[in-house]
Amino acid sequence: MLKNGDLTSKDFADRFTELALQYDCDKVIDHDYARFYAEIFVPINADQPRLLEIGVGGYADPLAGGASLHMWHHLLPEWSIVAIDVTRKKLSWPDHVTFICADQSNPDHLDHIGKKYGPFDVIIDDGSHVNKHVRASLWGLFPYLKEGGTYVIEDVQTSYLGAYGGSLSRDADTTANLARDLFDFVNAAELPSDFPIPAAFRHSVEEVRFQHNVVSVRKKTANRISNLQLEGVEKMLMQANEILADRHEVGRWLRLARYLSKLKRFDEARQCLRAGQQQFPDSIQIKRALATLEVTQNKNVSEKSRSNGPAGDPQKPIAFGRL
C-alpha cells in the first residue's frame, strides 16, 4: 500500500483504475474519473485526512454495494473514511471505514455527521443523484469541508433525466443549474451585496471544475477583490505599488497609471507616467498611455459637466515608492 506522498498523479490514476476494476467500481469505464481524482488527492498532505462519501451502492439491497469504499480503503490507507447511505447496509467494513445510515437530503442528518466526523478534506456525492438531494447535500455539508478541501458531485448527467428531477430548463432546480449558481459564487466579488448567495458560499468558493459527468468545488475563504469596483481597484493599486516598488520597468508605470485612471485620479496618473518617462524617454507605450489619459480625462470632465456633478472625488495621493 502506497502513501499519498509516494504517488505521482499517474501512479494514483493507475492504482485507482486497477482497484476500481478489481472491485467493480463504476468510477472507471462507466466514467473516466481516475485522473480527475488524482488531481484532487495527490496534493493533499494532511495529518489526519478525512473522506466522506455519500452513497455506498447496491441501491436498496442491504447486502450489496461497497465497491468504491473497498477501493478507497486500499488507495488511501492513512485516511479516515466515512460513508453514508439511506439503506442500512449489512456489510463488513475495513477498520478505518465508518458506515452511517443517513438520508443525504435531511439537514439534521448532515449536520450531525459534519459535527461528529468532520471537517473533511474531500466530500464525494455519489448518492441518489436526485437533483434536489444533490443540492441539499451541498448546502448541508459544505460548511464541514476543510479550507482547501474539495467537494465532488458525480453523475451530474442526471440533471437531464426526468426520473431524477432533471430538466433541460434553465429555471429548474437541477444540478446543472446548481453548477451555474456556483459560477456566480466564484465571482461573488462582482455581484451586489444583496445578490442571493448563501452565507457559507459568498467568500468561500475558490474554484469550480467541470468534467464529463462530474463537478468539483474547491473551498478557500478569502475576500476577493474586483477590478469592476472602485474599492477593488484601490486595493489593486496599493498592492501593485508595494510589489513593484523595487522594479524599474515600463510595466510598473503603466500598471500604476492604469489603476489611478480607473479611480479618476488623473493628475496622479499623469505624474506616474511622467516619472516613468524620465527613466524610459523613448518608450512608445508610455507616450501612448499619456495620450490615452488625456482623452479619458477630457471625456470624464465632459460627462461631469453634463451631469452638473464634481469632476471627481478627492483622494489621498498614494506614494509610488521611489520615483
E-only strand ranges, 97-183: 97-101, 120-125, 145-154
- From the list 31, 73, 109, 129, the catalytic residue is 129
Q: Pairing state of beta strands 50-54 and 80-85?
A: parallel
Euclidean distance between CA atoms 125 and 148, whole angstroms: 18
CB atoms within 10 A of CB 59: 12
User: Which residues partner with 84 through β-bridges?
Assistant: 54, 100
Active site residue 248: no
CA angle 249, 255, 261 (to 5 degrees): 140
User: Three cell numbers at 16?
Assistant: 485507482
Euclidean distance between CA atoms 182 and 193, whole angstroms: 16
Task: Confirm if 55 and 64 have CB atoms less than 8 A apart.
Answer: no
Instruction: Identify the three-state secondary structure at position 124.
Output: strand
**What is the four-CA torsion angle of 198, 201, 207, 210, rounded to 10 degrees?**
-40
E-only strand ranges, the chain: 50-54, 80-85, 97-101, 120-125, 145-154, 205-211, 214-219
Instruction: Identify the three-state secondary structure at position 88.
Output: coil
Euclidean distance between CA atoms 211 and 214, whole angstroms: 5
The number of angstroms, rounded, from the C-alpha of 170 to the middle of its chain's C-alpha atoms is 22
Catalytically active residues are: 129
